[in-house]
Amino acid sequence: MFLSISTTGTPERPATDLGFLLHKHPEKAQAFSTSYGKAHVLYPEADAERCTAALLLEVDAVALVRKGKGKGRGGAPDAALAQYVNDRPYAASSLLAVALSSVFSSAIRGVCNARPERAAEPLPLRIEVPALPARGGPDLVRKLFEPLGWTATAEPVALDPQFPEWGDSRYVSLVLESQTLTLAEALRHLYVLLPVLDDAKHYWVATDEVDKLLRAGEGWLPDHPEQKLITSRYLSRRWSLTREAMERLELVRLAEADDSEVEEIDNAVAAETEEEERPTPLAVQRRDAIIAALHASGAARVLDLGCGQGQLVQALLKDVRFTEIVGVDVSMRALTIASRRLKLDRMGERQASRVKLIQGSLAYTDKRLKGYDAAVLSEVIEHLDLPRLPALEYAVFGAARPRTVLVTTPNVEYNVRWESLPAGHVRHGDHRFEWTREEFRAWAGAVAERHGYDVEFVPVGPDDPEVGPPTQMAVFEMKSTADTEKEAKAA
């Protein structure tokens, strides 16, 4: 199997920086052992104007057959299509994808200490794969790569050039070109889409493949128009795994929604009343209410769960009373935007020590979230399907257990006061539900009782005497050991 990656450069920004990004020296030919053979990395050309790195994978056909026998030994049932005679040693497939991830492991994660600025910026890239199985033909190749910013050229390979009447094989010669992608993004696209086009894997697909898919698909798979096909093929059409992956991808998509829904309504109302003084946006009022509640709790170390693009994290950083602020989001795209908003790359050492952004799903327990004074769930719960709320509840209140938890969510009763919001509509298309004050109090009260918290409710925004405030906030405070023992004795 063979794949080449080329880039161009200038004397000031030489193309040979590709060697730093791949962590492979252009003047060396290197070999790496894999469980299915040997991977070679070499540079057919390397100068300031143009540099090409090639990955040649020599597949051990005997090892492939041995490891592919039976899913009980970890191999895929169809890994060796016809024992020693098949296309696996020659055509790009999951074997090449695995070699990419192991040989270029730092590059695929975007890590380059020697040239960090080059790792983070787009490069002029040209990738060539001479023999690629494509079940779906050139049209599917274009459908998979072009939405990601590639210009894809997929030339069908004839079954036999001497007999053109036999037609084309299922293989294509692939050339990808882009000016807008980083090297890490390019490698992640290949890692996922090579086996997807082949529609086969050389190993048995287990539950950990879902995590691999989501890691490699961060930033592009949730919005890809062929998401369902990619997910199904990558997971070898195992329905249970595909369903889990699709649910988690939906959580990623929902988590990328931010406060724009209410601010858009505020802007519409303000536009209709230009002669009046524009009111403070509800999103700002909400952040102010959250910070006031955090002050009252005495919290110094705060989690912003579902931090989105970092608006609240930015506000908390301005207050020296908060000594540690951790923003958590399932979306790497949102975290990247948050990092730029906060200017983390230019932040002073002392300020930078106070803030951290980490990727994580609130539907799963995470030991990194334990031990904090307070956690904030600001406009998060309404973006989840109701059956997913118990998982979030346990992850936050049962496992992480911060001393204080703040939860804000829209009050659906107030929607009648938005003149620009059609009757019966929620405030944002991604909202799975919007609760009345009674519904929110019932949910929060049950959560507090199950996990040993007291809860109070605070209005956010103008508190209408008929329909209440536009946003409702629950303030959970963990009960002391003495209070818990007293209640247990009373019971």
Q: What percentage of the chain has pLDDT greater than the value 70?
A: 85
Please tell me which of 41-45, 80-84, 165-169 the model is most confident about, judged by mean pLDDT.
41-45
Q: pTM of the predicted model, to two decimals?
A: 0.55
Q: Residue 195: pLDDT band by 50, 70, 90 thresholds?
A: very high
| Per-residue confidence (pLDDT) for residue 79, from 0 to 100 | 45
Banded model confidence at residue 77, pLDDT cuts 50, 70, 90: very low
Pairing of strands 50-59, 2-8: antiparallel
Give the model's pLDDT for residue 272.
45
Give residues with Cβ within 8 angstroms of 392, minimum separation 6. 362, 363, 381, 384
Which of 272, 232, 244, 258 lies closest to 313 in space, CA to CA? Answer: 258
Q: Is 88 helix (H, G, I), strand (E, B) or coil?
A: coil
Long-range contacts of 60-68 (CB under 8 A, 24+ apart): 60/36, 61/88, 61/89, 63/35, 63/36, 63/37, 64/36, 64/37, 64/88, 64/89, 64/95, 64/202, 67/35, 67/36, 67/202, 67/203, 68/202, 68/203
3-state SS assignment for residue 74: coil
Per-residue confidence band for 96, with pLDDT thresholds at 50, 70 and 90: confident
Determine the length of the chain. Answer: 491
Q: Percent of the chain scored above 90 by pLDDT?
A: 53
Greatest Cα pair distance, the chain, in angstroms, is: 91
pLDDT tens digits for 425-468? 777 777 889 999 999 999 999 999 999 999 999 999 999 999 99
The pair of three-digit structure tokens given for residue 71, joined into one six-digit string: 């899913």
Distance CA 434, CA 38 (A): 56
State the average pLDDT over residues 20-34.
Answer: 92
Count of CB atoms situated within 10 Å of the CB of 175: 17
Residue with the bigger pLDDT between 146 and 200: it is 146
pLDDT of residue 80: 45
SS3 state at 46: strand
Question: For residue 60, with 0-12 CB atoms within 10 Å meaning exposed, 13-18 middle and 19 or more buried, which class applies?
Answer: middle
Q: What is the pLDDT of residue 420?
A: 67
3-class SS of residue 307: coil
At residue 182, does pLDDT exceed 50? yes
Residue 300 identity (one-letter amino acid): A
Q: Are the beta carbons of 91 and 131 closer than 8 angstroms?
A: yes
Radius of gyration of the chain (CA): 27
Instruction: Describe the chain by its helix, strand, coil percentages, rounded to 5.
Output: 40, 25, 35
